[in-house]
Amino acid sequence: MSSGARHAEIAGGGIAGLTVATALAQRGWSVRLHERGRELREIGAGIFVWENALRVLEGIGAFEEATRRAERISSWRLYDERQRLIQDDWMKGDQTRLYTVLRTDLHQALANAAIRAGVEIVTDSLVAGATPEGELLLESGKVLKADLVVGTDGVGSPVRNSLGLNLVVRDLEDGCGRHLIPRRPYDPVNNALEYWNGGRRVGIVPVTPEQIYVYTCCPAKDLAGRRTPFDKESWSQSFPGLRDVFERIPDVSRWASFSDVRCHGWVRGRTALVGDAASAMSPNLGQAACLAMTNGYALGLMLDGAQDVPSSLLAWEARQRPVTDATQKYSRLYGRVGTRWPRPLTDLRSALVWAAGRSKAWQERVNVAAHQGAELVRQNDQA
């Protein structure tokens, strides 16, 4: 442990780890980040980045780079199996911004911000766990002492497991395929479209001037729906109007299952959890990574000048957690309605979704992370 700058050891070089590392390093901490992979790498296609996370990107100086090729989204339309528009004002009159960004662009912009801030990035470094006293335990047997340890090591988090913080770590038994397809002049501009039929959902979202991000969600037990390579025929039968979109999906595509992680706490002594390690959720509201960034940035701000690291971590958790817990709950609900609703009752589903869309109070509750999360970033910035 250094006697000058306070020192942090961070496990995991994903979106959460890079954000916390940068926020701390920009505030004078010496930061070492461990990534098990041979290089820092992000997989996946596009990602929704809401107001709360956009403010974090601005805060750490990564906004321009992350959004250089991104698409600003101003409306999100939802259609049911009878091609009826059942939600169109999800974002109308809303001051919160939403961009869709290539995952690789976001990750690279965060990695560059971390490097600029002086974060030491160690690849091929496998973390085995951590202790409440601020020790990071490497698989090699090395023990690294720090003023702060952060577990940003994803859903399977060895840091969380070693501290006994697991409450629920659950496969939600649904998931989706993520695809990038070439963009055509007649594809949507500044619009996100989502189509539902039974337990299947298709999202069509512009993400760069050349590419459209397509997600195809279904229950895990829908074997044709989750097949790789992507089963164009089966999906065209469910959504005949989208055949042209499915034809553009490349054969190399991947299926990702959704998980929920809930913890007894995000903090034990000098060690904290951020991102999927603490609060993985289904991506139905496009907020899991955004909250990882919001919470990671807030952690950096909360520890700025703080003398007592364990108490500051507890204060950080108390402040950030309610919005994350609420978003996780609504995301799970969205998944149940979208993927598990009984087929004979889909008209009722459409009516309920339509009614929910008309309620401003309900919309604000579901989208609490973009609203309140952004407000928390602002308050933290001013504190």
Ligand X SMILES: Cc1cc2nc3c(=O)[nH]c(=O)nc-3n(C[C@H](O)[C@H](O)[C@H](O)COP(=O)(O)OP(=O)(O)OC[C@H]3O[C@@H](n4cnc5c(N)ncnc54)[C@H](O)[C@@H]3O)c2cc1C
Cβ-based nearer residue to ligand X, 350 or 377:
377
Give the count of beta carbons closer than 10 Å to the beta carbon of residue 61. 15
Q: Which stretch binds ligand X (CB under 6 A): 12-20, 222-230, 299-307, 321-329?
A: 12-20
Q: Is 286 in the site for ligand X (CB under 6 A)?
A: yes
Distance in Å, CB of 238 to ligand X, minimum: 19
CB closer to ligand X, 126 vs 306? 126
Of residues 21 and 350, the one with the C-beta less far from ligand X = 21
80: which 2 tokens? 């049911």
Minimum Å distance from CB 43 to ligand X?
9
Q: Segment 251-270, which members bind ligand X (CB under 6 A)?
A: 256
Task: Figure out which of the listed residues 290, 301, 309, 376 binds ligand X, where binding follows CB under 6 A.
Answer: 290
Query: Residue written as tokens 């000058």?
Result: 4
Asked if 306 interacts with ligand X (CB under 6 A), we say no
Sheet holding 166-182, edge to edge: 85-87, 75-79, 191-197, 200-206, 211-219, 166-182, 254-263
Among 178, 179, 200, 201, which residue interacts with ligand X (rule: CB under 6 A)?
A: 178
Judged by CB under 6 A, the residue of 86, 292, 366, 377 near ligand X is 292
Site string for ligand X, 32-71 (x = CB under 6 A): --xxxx---------xx-----------------------
- Restricting to residues 138-157, name those near ligand X by CB under 6 A: 152-154
Contact 41, 149 (CB under 8 A): no
> Considering beta carbons, is residue 97 or 178 the nearer one to ligand X?
178
Residue found under tokens 């958790």: 317
State yes or no: residue 271 binds ligand X (CB under 6 A).
Answer: no
Contact call for residue 13 and ligand X (CB under 6 A): yes
Contacting residues toward ligand X, per CB under 6 A: 11-17, 34-37, 47-48, 126-127, 152-154, 158, 176, 178, 256, 275-277, 283, 286-290, 292
